[in-house]
Amino acid sequence: MLDRLYLPLLGLAAALAIALALVWPQGLGARSPAPFGHTPLQQTPEMKAAMKREHDAAQERAKQARDAVRDLQAQAVAPTQ
């Protein structure tokens, strides 16, 4: 393709990609500028509550696993009969 056509088309495609990036929904990150975007999914109260529940459950599972390992080690060191 001729450079006279290719380079302007490439520049136009780059400008369109930048314009699209300015207005496309942002996903899970920070909120987009004022006229665009919405509250990110992870910042909604429902999602924060669900994430806290999951974190608490994971912490409890980890604590139970540590306690189980501690009990097994204690039995290995001083077995009860």
Q: pLDDT tens per residue, the chain (81 residues)?
A: 688 899 999 999 999 999 888 777 666 566 666 666 667 777 789 999 999 999 999 999 999 999 999 999 998 888 766
Task: Give the Cα separation of 40 and 71 in Å (integer).
Answer: 43
- Going by C-beta distance under 8 Å and a sequence separation of 6 or more, which residues neighbour residue 3? none
